[in-house]
Amino acid sequence: MDSTTAEVAYYFAPFLRVYTDGHVERLQGTDVVPPAMNSETGVSSKDVVIASETGVSARLFKPNSVNPEKRLPLLVYFHGGGFSLCSPYCSIYHDYLTSLVLEANIIAVSVDYRLAPENPLPAAYEDSWAALQWVVSHCNGQGSEPWLKDHADFQRVFLAGDSAGGNISHNLAVQAGVEGLGGVKLQGICVVHPYFGRKSEDDVGNDDNTNGGRPDVRPGVDNRWLYVCPTTSGFKDPRCNPAADERLWRLGCSKVLVCVAEKDGLRERGWFYYETLGKSGWSGEVEIMETEGEGHVFHLFKPSSEKAVTLMKRIVSFINQE
């Protein structure tokens, strides 16, 4: 049976279909923009392989004009897409990182982690941690990548991501707080419209974007979380519920920016994360910004809009403020 006649086993509308024969059809984020040196955008980009055995790779970005006497903040970025879609190479994320690098005058590493359902969680977390360890290996002039060795300031490192990428950023910051990052200083993380579980264990919610999937919907989590992480414990899984993580107070950075949008279905989860972090005993500072009248990751699809520009400026300020 080929995928033209196979039935749909899981549908994350309008993004992803998985058929009963195992075929995965991604409906967004599959285009590829080639990297470009000395681009007319003012930003150069190139691709690197981090772990050939797993296929983990990344796209690096730097401003075309770099003062060799001045090191730049380093941003490690994790794309969104429900752990199942997109890559650093698709136009949405290539264009966004290009704009962010230009506006903030930073070096950026945009991580390409393995996607579910072919590679269910924790693959994305493991790949992202491996990528961060690769970045850290360039501290003190070591490592093989000259853009990092020659231009990155390892005392001003940030993690950021949107949606699932925001979730990854948070979880890596917790792991960094527990395990350490050598001589690297993780100053902050920026989570934009982050994907977490619901606020209450009694909240089943409506999975409007999911038809099919697993029938055993557990309180406090989405069908799609259960689908991408089949070994999850559900609402008590600290990866999707920071309030269930006894290590939260050890978050390995000094500041966090949470960005939410008024019409985003994940808005309450972003506020829940902000409130939970503030009560955790963590010694850092957490800020929150809400954009009125906009939905989930609006800034990626309307990058020139006034509100997207405002959000960009807030993120740039967060990275560059001393």
Terminal Cα-to-Cα distance of the chain (whole angstroms): 59
The set of residues, in sequence order, having a beta carbon less than 8 Å from that of 108 and lying 6+ positions away, is 60, 61, 62, 74, 75, 76, 77, 97, 100, 101
Task: Respond yes or no: is residue 296 known to be catalytic.
Answer: yes
Task: Respond yes or no: is residue 137 known to be catalytic.
Answer: no
d(CA 270, CA 254): 19
d(CA 117, CA 230): 10
d(CA 205, CA 210): 12
Q: Give me the tens of pLDDT residue by residue for the chain, a chain 322 residues long.
A: 454 578 999 888 889 999 999 999 999 999 999 999 999 999 999 999 999 999 999 999 999 999 989 999 999 999 999 999 999 999 999 999 999 999 999 999 999 999 999 999 999 999 999 999 999 999 988 899 999 999 999 999 999 999 999 999 999 999 999 999 998 999 999 999 999 998 777 776 554 443 344 444 567 888 889 999 999 999 999 999 999 999 999 999 999 999 999 999 999 999 999 999 999 999 999 999 999 999 999 999 999 999 999 999 999 999 999 7
pTM of the model: 0.94
pLDDT of residue 293: 98
Q: One of 84, 264, 280, 299 is an active-site residue; which one?
A: 264
Q: One of 44, 163, 169, 280 is an active-site residue; which one?
A: 163
**Percent of the chain residues topping a pLDDT of 90:** 86
Q: One of 79, 94, 296, 299 is an active-site residue; which one?
A: 296
